Amino acid sequence: MNLDLTSEQRLLVTSVAALLDRFRSPGGGAHGYVDYSPGLQAELRKSGFLEVASQADCGLLEAALLIEEIASRPVSVEAAATALLTPLIGRCSPPTALAWALNRPVRYLSHAEVLCLIQDDDVLVGTPSPEDVTAIDGVVAYPLAVLRTVPRDAVRFTGAVAAAIRRRARIGIAAEAAGLMRGALQTTTQYVKERRQFGQPLAHFQAIQHRLAEDAQLVHACRLLAFRAAYEDDERHAALACLYAQEAMRKLIYDCHQFSGAIGLTLEYPLHLWTYRLKFLQGEAGGRGRQAELLAQQLWS
């Protein structure tokens, strides 16, 4: 048991952070939040970070470390599906969209080069064309589109590979949610230190301190569980990490908005860009009810 990052893992995380920092939006306020852009996506692909899971001396844990770090930054760019699924589907063409059903909004689908559609026990992998999708405008920081039809070139993956795709999708949700929660909590913590009411910073009120402290514990646990799930790459740990994250985010989202007050509801303030992505992840992969069922099957069948 050794729960420290190696020096190589630390370097990996700081390197991807440095790359993302170069893309901070100069007009994006203190956070410099960067909405999804094909340019940044192409840059991330070119950097090779998203292929880390296939590189020598690296694996899914390194991919999860990157996913968590990227999600915590003030930037919207697809990483989880590409980094975790590339070794299984043999395609590294971000953004990769992961759909759990037809006729539902899918993250990154409007720009997707690759689509993985989970259909019961199988997974269909193809290249979505414009007629397959309908883009949606909204406040969710993910570029969204509804998947209407299965791409014509879709290839069917079955058995163990399909199961691995579903499993890694859950690991991706857990790692991405952990990073998003970290970003939202950091933003909120900063805000309560600066915002003064009744002659003192909000940060001095114990009612606020305790709830944010509970959130800090949840975020920390989410990270550890997500990293362990990537390390183990098995059904039990994947369902467990995804369940804990989908449980934890409900409280954290509410607290972050509550303590940010009305400014947290505006589009000029970046909080929603973390919390609304989290809200989208709350129901992914069947939501916490499905994760709990999968975990129970692993433990008690």
Q: How far is the CB of 56 from another protein (least distance, A)?
A: 17
Angle at 108 between CA 41 and CA 64, to 5 degrees: 65
Near another protein in 177-216, by CB under 8 A: 189, 192-193, 203-204, 206, 208-210, 212-214, 216
d(C-alpha 73, C-alpha 275), whole Å: 13
Q: How far is the CB of 40 from another protein (least distance, A)?
A: 28
Three-class secondary structure of residue 49 per DSSP: helix
- Cα dihedral angle (272, 273, 276, 277), rounded to 10 degrees? -160
CA 25 to chain centre: 21
Q: Among all chains, which residue has been given the structure tokens 């098995």?
A: 234
Near another protein in 49-108, by CB under 8 A: 61
> Residue type at 71?
A
Q: How far is the CB of 103 from another protein (least distance, A)?
A: 26
The verdict on 217 binding another protein (CB under 8 A) reads yes
Contacts of 101 (CB under 8 A, 6+ apart): 118
Return the residue of 12, 145, 243, 256 that touches another protein, per CB under 8 A: 243
The answer to whether 227 touches 176, Cβ cutoff 8 Å, is no
User: 31 to each of 20, 22, 141, 204, 299, how far by Cα in Å?
Assistant: 12, 13, 15, 23, 43
| Residues present in the chain in total | 301
Give how many residues touch another protein by CB under 8 A: 44
- Is the CB of 69 or the CB of 78 nearer to another protein? 69
Return the residue of 24, 220, 251, 279 that touches another protein, per CB under 8 A: 220
Three-class secondary structure of residue 66 per DSSP: helix
Residue span binding another protein (CB under 8 A) among the ranges 114-122, 140-148, 219-227, 271-279: 219-227
The answer to whether 260 touches 212, Cβ cutoff 8 Å, is no
- Is the CB of 49 or the CB of 244 nearer to another protein? 244
Return the residue of 150, 231, 282, 283 that touches another protein, per CB under 8 A: 231
Interaction pattern, residues 8-37, with another protein; x per rule: CB under 8 A: -x----------------------------
Q: How far is the CB of 270 from another protein (least distance, A)?
A: 19
Angle at 5 between CA 68 and CA 232, to 5 degrees: 70
- Is the CB of 152 or the CB of 210 nearer to another protein? 210
What is the contact surface with another protein in residues (CB under 8 A)?
1-6, 9, 61, 189, 192-193, 203-204, 206, 208-210, 212-214, 216-217, 220-221, 224-225, 227-228, 231-232, 239-240, 243-244, 247, 288-289, 291-293, 295-296, 299-300
